[in-house]
Amino acid sequence: MRREAPQKLSDYGPLLFPAGMLIVFFVIPFATMIAVSFFKRDPAGFYSTAFVFDNYARFLSLFFGKVLGFSLFLAIAVAICCVLLAVPFTYLLSRSSRRTQVVWLVGLLSVLSLSEVIIGFAWSTLFSRTAGITNLLVAIGLMSQPVALNPSFGAVLTAMVYQALPYTVLVLYPALVRLDPTLTEAARTLGASPITSFFTVVVPALRNTIMATLIMVFIFALGSYLLPQILGRPQHWTLSVLITDQAIYQSNMPFAAAMAVFLVLVTLGLVGLTLLAGRKGEAA
Amino acid sequence: MSGLALQNITKQFGTFTAVKNVSLTVPHGTFVCLLGPSGCGKTTLMRMIAGLDLPTEGAIKLDDADITRVPTHKRDLGMVFQSLALFPHLTVGENIAYSLRIRGVGKEDQKKRVDELLSMIHLSGYADRPVAKLSGGQRQRVAIARALAISPKLFLLDEPLSALDAKLREAMQVELRQLQQRLGITTIVVTHDQREAMTMADTVVVMNSGEIRQAAAPVEIYRRPADTFVADFIGMTNLFDFTADSAGRTNALGSSIEGLQVPGGLSKGVLSVRPEDVHLTAPGHGAIAGRVTFVRDLGGTIETFVEAGGKQIVAVSMPHARPDVTVGQDVGIKLSPDACVVLKS
């Protein structure tokens, strides 16, 4: 549906409410955060108004660089794992009977209702030595004795993939359902085996969707701060964990704000680069 | 036998039988149209030939080799889908080269073959265009070229022209038939459009509710339909009941039809007479009595609707033989015995 462009000031009326909400709950807090990031910390109280770059300067150290690097690596790993698992799964789901689809989608939606805390503690139990899944492996004779699987990078990754997978599937699902099933049939009549047709037709036809999903999961995973603490060692802590730590436990709001702003900038930069690469690939 | 042979093919979806015990042979180089109303099983039959569906019973043989369970991608066929199913992420050239690329044909050979096919479909120079930028007719041609890239043994088309407008469709029918004759490729087309089938096919296979009603040359199907369904489905026809006495003399529309002898033992049935075989004369003189109810003058042909014996009979004539009648006038109907097809009711 195409409508006329707004003519009078009153035509913008319907935008007032969302614009107001956006300003009150997003623009103002974000602006405050940017402002605070330049403030000076007051050890006695909270912070005092100033305009210093100390907070950003402090951030430019090897330690925080490493944490930032790990955060980005973890988020990328989660995004790639999620997409690798979700694309074939959702493809098969979209080709199965309606009943099967409903059952799976309801199951996935119920995972969404779990809070990060519950997911974290559930997995920490599953990965524990006393009650974890290794006991099952011992029971069927694959292992000689149960071991603790956490804290470890694998545990953090597993739980984060578990948490992000439903979102991934739900984002991919509409695109895969809309994908014309005769495309793969055509590929098969042209001599492609089912697997070849999946990689030469389904995946390339969904290129943009897959790209968008990667970015979404990446950003989603970047914000995770509970699971790395529950299931990881301190070296598996992400920048989000440090931001929380600085803001809540160290009462260093200006430094936490500076880190948050920096994280936002790096994220935007990466997303921009990805989109640019995607556009170049399309032009070629 | 060289060609495609379907032997007692049955396909069931749950309790629904889509195709019932169908047998058909298609010699190499022939053009066969599967024709029928929607839901008659023609598309299912084609999907089984392509290997996209497995028959519940029966065998499919190609050059005497049983291919019933051979997967689609090993059948060496080309298929054009109703939706065309062009790959949206590939250019025209890449679409056409897809089957060659999958088979590992070298880049140079791919390009040569694509150029050859593009000139065959009159789209030379379109190789680098995205398929989204093509018109309906052009997309149609690209789909045909893509299916023919490997010179398949079997060329299958599922309602290939249904997305085109009427004029383009007629033109493409002729083009497709000429292409098939030039390449001599064994071709099977699914269609619900009887004009399309009559234009293109060597053999028209009329299907209804999962069964083959008649398989014959187009003119044969038109002139000698096997049953009332075929007679009614192909072109316009007048169908009306008749009775016959022990000597084989027939009576229909309230009068006897002179000269028509029905096979012995048949006491009643249905007659099919094409509208162009219905001749209007003056009433009396042994003609069937009727009354004109409507005249439809289409310019090229004139259809006269006549009520006779409680049935509506349509007569079609050309302008030079325009019947001199008006609505409400009493007329006589002459039916030549040769033009009457006797069918079981």
Q: Angle, nearest 10°, between helix axes A207-222 and A253-283?
A: 170
The predicted pLDDT at position A7 comes to: 75
The C-alpha angle A23, A26, A29, rounded to 5 degrees, equals: 100
Q: With an 8 Å Cβ cutoff, are B150 and A191 in contact?
A: yes
Chain A nearest-CA distance from B201, in A, is 23
From chain A, the residues in CB contact with B156 under 8 A are 189
List of chain B residues with pLDDT < 50: none
CA distance A218 to A238: 13
The predicted pLDDT at position A77 comes to: 95
CA distance A215 to A221: 10
Region A202-220: mean pLDDT is 89
Give chain A's largest Cα–Cα span: 77
Region A33-60: mean pLDDT is 79
Q: What is the total residue count of chain A?
A: 284
Q: With an 8 Å Cβ cutoff, are B81 and A185 in contact?
A: yes
B72 at interface of A, judged by CB pairs closer than 8 A: yes
pLDDT digits (tens, 9 = 90+) for B57-97: 999 999 989 999 999 999 889 999 999 999 998 999 999 99
**β-pair partners for B26:** B4
| pLDDT band with cut points at 50, 70 and 90 for residue A284 | very low
- May I ask the CATH architecture of the domain B236-343? Beta Barrel (2.40)
**B31-35 vs B203-208, strand pairing mode:** parallel
CA distance A257 to A250: 13
Distances (CA, A) of A270 to A64, A75, A81, A216, A274: 18, 12, 18, 12, 6
B102 at interface of A, judged by CB pairs closer than 8 A: yes
Using beta carbons and an 8 Å cutoff, which residues of A are at the interface with B?
Answer: 180, 182-183, 185-194, 196-197, 200-201, 204-205, 207
From chain B, the residues in CB contact with A196 under 8 A are 73, 102
Ordered by start, the domain boundaries in chain A are 62-283
**B186-191 vs B154-158, strand pairing mode:** parallel
Region A31-35: mean pLDDT is 88
Q: With an 8 Å Cβ cutoff, are B102 and A196 in contact?
A: yes
Q: Angle, nearest 10°, between helix axes A153-178 and A98-112?
A: 140
Q: With an 8 Å Cβ cutoff, are A182 and B83 in contact?
A: yes
From chain A, the residues in CB contact with B87 under 8 A are 183, 186-187, 201, 204-205
- May I ask the CATH architecture of the domain B3-232? 3-Layer(aba) Sandwich (3.40)
Q: With an 8 Å Cβ cutoff, are A193 and B103 in contact?
A: no
CA distance A233 to B242: 94
Chain B nearest-CA distance from A166, in A, is 27
Q: With an 8 Å Cβ cutoff, are B52 and A185 in contact?
A: yes
pTM (two decimals)? 0.78
Residue B77: closest C-alpha in chain A: A189
Please say whether the beta carbons of A74 and A238 come within 8 A.
Answer: yes
CATH of span A62-283: 1.10.3720.10
Please say whether the beta carbons of B215 and B206 come within 8 A.
Answer: yes
Distance of CA B311 to the CA centre of its chain: 28
Q: Which of B73, B94, B131, B154 to mutate to test the interface with A (most CBs of A within 10 A)?
A: B73
Region A216-245: mean pLDDT is 87
B104 at interface of A, judged by CB pairs closer than 8 A: no
From chain A, the residues in CB contact with B99 under 8 A are 190-191
Residue B80: closest C-alpha in chain A: A186
From chain A, the residues in CB contact with B88 under 8 A are 205
The predicted pLDDT at position A44 comes to: 67
Q: Which of A189, A198, A200 to mutate to test the interface with B (most CBs of B within 10 A)?
A: A189
SS3 B205: strand
Q: Which of B165, B95, B98 is nearest to B131 (CA)?
A: B95
pLDDT digits (tens, 9 = 90+) for A79-130: 999 999 999 999 999 989 999 999 999 998 888 888 888 999 999 999 888 8
CA distance B135 to B165: 12
Residue A282 pLDDT more than 60?
A: no
CA distance B12 to B104: 37
Q: Residue B72 CB: number of other CB atoms within 10 A?
A: 22
CA distance B32 to B187: 6
Chain A nearest-CA distance from B46, in A, is 12
Rg over alpha carbons for chain B, rounded to the nearest Å, is 25
What letter would DSSP give residue B135?
-
DSSP output for chain A = ---PPP-SGGGGGGGHHHHHHHIIIIIHHHHHHHHHTTSEE-TTSSEE-----HHHHHHSSHHHHHHHHHHHHHHHHHHHHHHHHHHHHHHHHHTS-HHHHHHHHHHHHHHHTS-HHHHHHHHHHHTSTTTSHHHHHHHTTS-SS-----SSHHHHHHHHHHHHHHHHHHHHHHHHHHS-HHHHHHHHHTT--HHHHIIIIIHHHTHHHHHHHHHHHHHHHHT--SHHHHHS-GGG--HHHHHHIIIIIS--HHHHHHHHHHHHHHHHHHHHHHHHHHHHHHH-
Please say whether the beta carbons of B97 and B113 come within 8 A.
Answer: yes
